[in-house]
Structure 1
Amino acid sequence: MSIEINNESGASVDERAIGLVARHVLDSLGINPLAELSILVVDEAAMSTLHKQWLGLDGPTDVMAFPMDTLDDKPGLETDPGPSLLGDVILCPSVAARQAAAAGHSTDAELFLLTTHGVLHLLGYDHDEPEEEREMFELQSRLVTGWAEATGRGPVRTPLPGTAGEKRG
């Protein structure tokens, strides 16, 4: 599995751990080990530009996801999905830092949560409808909590279904 991380934000982030949590999500969901993923870490100005360009919304957001190849169904349901370019996850550590303070955990923990959230979006999960939101946020919580426990990182407070709204992309 190829996970490329490019930090253009100027902020110090644990790139290795971000890559490991992304790998944990993909492995846990049975995604082909030849799949490719790109993670870009940007500052607020760059994230604001992307947010406006792609979603028509002003200001920065915490995470955005840009899928490349689509999977026919949710992960784990394919017999052999084959290698694919999953897409790009864009993270903004300064927005993550503010959210981390509000959530009562570290900026690293928030970035792990946002990485998981972005990867799930690349895999076709969404939270536009209440049922989709519940499915995505419950899976996100299980994945992040499992990773944090297995690696001794955390705690990571994961949002409950019904709290996605404006917070996560």
Structure 2
Amino acid sequence: MAIELINESGSEVDEQALSDMAEYTLQEMGINPAADLSFLIADLEHMSDLNRRWMGGTGPTDVLSFPMHDALPGRPDAVESDIDALGDIVLSPEVAERQAQDAGHSTLDEMRMLTVHGILHILGYDHAEPVQAKEMFGLQNRILDAWRRREVKP
């Protein structure tokens, strides 16, 4: 699995931890190990611009996902089985830091959660409707819980 991570934010980010989380998530989702995923760690200005241009939002957001395909293997609506480039995820460490403080956990924990969240969006999951939200957040929590259990093994 090729995971390319570029940090243009000016913030110190544990790139290896995010790459490891992404790889684990993709493995848990049964994605072909030959698939590629790109990460951009962006500053507030760049994230605000992307949010405005692509989502119609205002100000910076925590994570944006740009899938290369409409549906991916593992989803009921999948149309292709041999996808090599999954898409791009953009994360804001500054927004993640604020959210982490509000939630009472570390910025790294927040960035890991945003990594999983972004990947699930890349894979076609959404949370616009209550049923979708239950599925997506349930899956997100299952992956994060499994990761945490893996980290604390003796």
TM category (shorter chain) comes to over 0.9
What is the CA distance between 1:148 and its match in structure 2? Answer: 2.0
CA RMSD of aligned residues (A): 1.7
What is the CA distance between 1:81 and its match in structure 2? Answer: 2.3
Cα distance between partner residues in 1 of 2:93 and 2:132: 26
Cα–Cα, structure 1 residues 138 and 48, in superposed 2: closer, same or farther, change >3 Å? same
Q: Is the 8 A contact 1:69 1:84 kept in 2?
A: no
Amino acid at match of 2:39: I
In structure 2, what is the equivalent of residue 128 of structure 1? 128
Q: Is the 8 A contact 2:72 2:83 kept in 1?
A: no
CA deviations on 1:28-79 (whole Å, 9 max, x unpaired) are 111000110001000100000000001111100000000003435535997x
Cα distance between partner residues in 1 of 2:30 and 2:134: 21
Q: Following superposition of structure 1 onto structure 2, how do residues 60-99 of structure 1 map, counting pairs within 5 Å?
A: 60-72=60-72, 74-75=74-75, 81-99=81-99
Greater than 6 Å deviation, 4+ residue runs: none
CA deviations on 1:6-33 (whole Å, 9 max, x unpaired) are 0000100110010010111100111000
Q: Is the 8 A contact 1:48 1:58 kept in 2?
A: yes
Cα distance between partner residues in 2 of 1:143 and 1:56: 30
In structure 2, what is the equivalent of residue 52 of structure 1? 52
**Which has the larger helix fraction?**
2
Give structure 2 stretches of 5+ with no counterpart: none
**How high is the sequence identity, in percent, across the aligned residues?**
47
Cα distance between partner residues in 2 of 1:101 and 1:2: 31
Amino acid at match of 1:26: L
Give structure 1 stretches of 5+ with no counterpart: 153-169
What is the CA distance between 1:147 and its match in structure 2? Answer: 0.9
Classify the secondary structure of the residue corresponding to 1:113: helix
Q: Is the 8 A contact 2:30 2:74 kept in 1?
A: no
Q: Is the 8 A contact 2:72 2:123 kept in 1?
A: no
What is the CA distance between 1:84 and its match in structure 2? Answer: 1.7
Amino acid at match of 1:65: S
In structure 2, what is the equivalent of residue 15 of structure 1? 15
Q: Give yes or no for the alignment of 1:137 onto 2:137.
A: yes
- What is the aligned length? 151
Cα distance between partner residues in 1 of 2:96 and 2:72: 31
